[in-house]
Amino acid sequence: MDSSIGRFSTATVNSEAPAERPAEEQKPPELVYGSAEEFLHEQLLPTYVRDVDGRAAKWCLEWYFHPEALSRVEALWRAWEHLRLNGATGISVWWCDHADHHMNVLLDPRGPFYKCDMQKHRDPDHLEPKKAPEGWFPDVSLQS
């Protein structure tokens, strides 16, 4: 059995809610993976297998240099850690609402890795819009 799938199965089975205890005594559930990178290598990529040929799907071997990819992989990891605790539909929700959406964007040939190929990373172009006129977007954090 694939160890990454086994880790998921164990996490799901052992994730039942503890007996009723006051909220201050309940500890948050332990994470299965210690980082988004560990999650990517041990859970996501071994289970989300696609033919990455550069035409239908692209990936950058140095994915961590792409801010959008970092954010999306982090979001996938955190959503997985939360939804794995729902033994009924959590993993299905994760696949449908998170993995399929984010991975389709990441693997899209026009997505964040559009300049890269499987041998070479190329820095992405960044949008550099003009700043809006002063006062156009008031700082709402200063309002009480």
46-60 tens-digit pLDDT: 999 998 888 899 999
Assign 34 to helix, strand or coil.
Answer: coil
Structure-model confidence comparison of residues 126 and 3, the more confident one? 126
Find all residues with CB under 8 Å of 75, minimum gap 6, and list them: 98, 102
List, for residues 67-102, the tens digit of each pLDDT value. 999 999 999 999 999 999 999 999 999 999 999 999
Burial of residue 101 (number of CB atoms within 10 Å: 0-12, 13-18, 19+): middle
